Structure 1
Amino acid sequence: MNPATFAPQHFLWSFADGVATVTLNRPEKKNPLTFESYAELRDTFRTLVFAKDVKAVVLTGAEGNFSSGGDVREIIGPLTEMDMPALLDFTRMTGDLVKAIRACPQPVITAVDGICVGAGAILAMASDLRLATPQAKCAFLFNKVGLAGCDMGACAILPRIIGQGRASELLFTGRTMSAEEGERWGFWNRLVEPDALAGEAADWAARLAAGPTFANGVTKTQLNAEWDMGIDQAIEAEAQAQAICMQTEDFKRAYRAFIAKEKPVFEGN
């Protein structure tokens, strides 16, 4: 991938100063997902593993909403006509999008205004950092359409963010989590006003892009890997990961800058 020339078909993409911005862009329907956009998003996040120029990613939605989830006519309708093998192909594909977001080394910041429901809520959940406006309305709606809450990793990831009891409430009922609840529960890292949302997300992304990006990628890897580790195994894994980071030029740059009483300039190697 050349991030400067990448031109996806099913969402907007921009790239500048190490930050890629992905914008879901079907505002007339509150930016729903389709079979094609799911797949293209999955492939894009998979490719980011090899996009060394991309240091951080902002994921957002166009014109006052994040995403209304799977398009009712273009996804839910056809799903009611599929047989089990086709349905399993679909659910595995959507799950692969979450895997791709978690596996890409770049921190992913989701910036949410307005509607963030169904698969949209899952995209926010799968991100590393989440910003929202006071108007954000987030709901894991699967129960409302006769499905289980266990969609795209929700039963594994959501309890780790907000706790088992709160996740159970949202997944069993499908009710909307208010922005204030989401911030208080730790789902949203911060609430900002709508006119400041894009700028705040850009500032966070720029700060991460200017940091020791190799080390940030190691942090993301360990945050994922240590879910399944005991404490002794986790401590050993972190000892090995940190020893690797101590061999980077960024570590040496930080030391030299400290000695010179300067701010370090990291280069990601």
Structure 2
Amino acid sequence: MTTRTFDPATYAPEHFLWEFSEGVATIRLNRPERKNPLTFESYAELRDLFRALVYAGDVHVVVFASNGGNFCSGGDVHEIIGPLVAMEMPGLLEFTRMTGDLVKAMRACPQTIVSAVQGVSAGAGAIITMASDLRYASPEAKTAFLFNRVGLAGCDMGACAILPRIIGQGRASELLFFGRSLGAEEGLAWGYFNGVFPAEELDERVLELARKLASGPTFANAMTKNQLNHEWDMSLEAAIEAEAQAQAICMKTRDFERAYRAFVDKRKPEFEGD
């Protein structure tokens, strides 16, 4: 994808499943027989997709869902891990930068990203949930940042920057040093998951939430995501000024006026994202 347009209705990825309806796009990795591992190609195609979503005005929310009872088992042992062992440093750095670019693209795209996690979410799969804006799980979900269990550092794809901001430094340190699994209920208690739903209800409950987000003030929601990203390394003074400017921009949107008119008329506002 090299043009600055993106048609969600005709988009047809090669390495994962894609659905689009009512402003909500759904992604599922499509290797359920192996718990949906990533390959070099699927990494790159996901990165390119999230970059393209910057230009997808019709897509308001992205749901990253599970497939076959599992979310993602991380990098494919035979198609990624094996080749990495044989690579020299330039190739390894090219790979690690590419995987990090997926997280950058997820955080930079204006759409709210919601993960619906069933079963295994490990390694890069855990990173994808971490890089999402909201996370929901079924009770049996197991999330593991297991890099140190394969002889690697826990500082992969932004984990040392993002994970402590979600669950705190001490808890993040425990998961990254030990590589142990985080269960759904523990993840809910720690603030990693926003909710836990029965497996048979998870997809529909998450889709309901996604549709609610998609029907909301999506320009303003994108501004919220932008500020959540950029205020990480701002001083309080700079953050307050940035939010003042962001809010002033939102006050010029038609959605802001629609909300006012609806309040005056004592009815629910109908947002259109402009």
TM-score by length of 1: 1.00
- Pick one of 160, 168, 171 that aligns with 2:165: 160
Residues 1:268 and 2:273 are matched in the alignment: yes
Residues 1:56 and 2:72 are matched in the alignment: no
What CA distance in whole angstroms lies between the structure 2 residues aligned with 1:262 and 1:24? 41
Match of 2:254? 249
Q: Following TM superposition, by how much is the alpha carbon of 1:25 offset from its aligned partner in structure 2, in angstroms?
A: 1.1
- Local SS of the residue matching 2:140: coil
Match of 1:230? 235
- Local SS of the residue matching 2:86: coil
Match of 1:92? 97
- Local SS of the residue matching 1:12: strand
What are the residue-to-residue correspondences of 1:99-248 with 2, within 5 Å? Answer: 99-248=104-253
User: Is the CA contact 1:133–1:194 (under 8 Å) kept in the aligned structure 2?
Assistant: yes
What CA distance in whole angstroms lies between the structure 2 residues aligned with 1:2 and 1:241? 28
Residues 1:72 and 2:77 are matched in the alignment: yes
Match of 1:7? 12
**Aligned structure 1 segments of 4 or more residues deviating by more than 6 angstroms:** none
Aligned AA (2:149) = K
User: Is the CA contact 1:25–1:61 (under 8 Å) kept in the aligned structure 2?
Assistant: no
Deviations 1:57-78 (A, max 9, x none): 0001211000000000000000
What CA distance in whole angstroms lies between the structure 1 residues aligned with 2:184 and 2:224? 28
- Local SS of the residue matching 2:94: helix
Aligned AA (1:54) = V
Aligned AA (2:72) = S
What CA distance in whole angstroms lies between the structure 2 residues aligned with 1:215 and 1:179? 30
Residues 1:21 and 2:7 are matched in the alignment: no
What CA distance in whole angstroms lies between the structure 2 residues aligned with 1:146 and 1:51? 39
TM-score by length of 2: 0.98
User: Is the CA contact 1:253–1:265 (under 8 Å) kept in the aligned structure 2?
Assistant: yes
Unaligned runs of 5+ in 1: none
- Local SS of the residue matching 1:80: helix
- Pick one of 30, 35, 54 that aligns with 2:35: 30
Aligned AA (1:142) = F
- Local SS of the residue matching 2:166: helix
Aligned AA (1:253) = R
Aligned AA (1:40) = E
Q: Following TM superposition, by how much is the alpha carbon of 1:37 offset from its aligned partner in structure 2, in angstroms?
A: 0.1
Q: Following TM superposition, by how much is the alpha carbon of 1:108 offset from its aligned partner in structure 2, in angstroms?
A: 0.2
Q: How many residues align?
A: 269
- Local SS of the residue matching 2:62: strand
What CA distance in whole angstroms lies between the structure 2 residues aligned with 1:81 and 1:200? 44
Aligned AA (2:87) = M
Aligned AA (1:53) = D
User: Is the CA contact 1:212–1:250 (under 8 Å) kept in the aligned structure 2?
Assistant: yes
CA RMSD between the two structures: 0.4
What CA distance in whole angstroms lies between the structure 2 residues aligned with 1:16 and 1:180? 31
What CA distance in whole angstroms lies between the structure 2 residues aligned with 1:179 and 1:210? 28
What CA distance in whole angstroms lies between the structure 2 residues aligned with 1:109 and 1:201? 8
What CA distance in whole angstroms lies between the structure 2 residues aligned with 1:178 and 1:253? 42
What CA distance in whole angstroms lies between the structure 1 residues aligned with 2:30 and 2:133? 22
What CA distance in whole angstroms lies between the structure 1 residues aligned with 2:104 and 2:208? 26
What CA distance in whole angstroms lies between the structure 2 residues aligned with 1:101 and 1:201? 18
Deviations 1:170-223 (A, max 9, x none): 000101111111000000000000010110110111001000000000000000
What CA distance in whole angstroms lies between the structure 2 residues aligned with 1:3 and 1:201? 20
Deviations 1:68-122 (A, max 9, x none): 0000000000000000000000000000000000000000000000000100000
Match of 2:3? none
- Amino-acid identity (%): 68
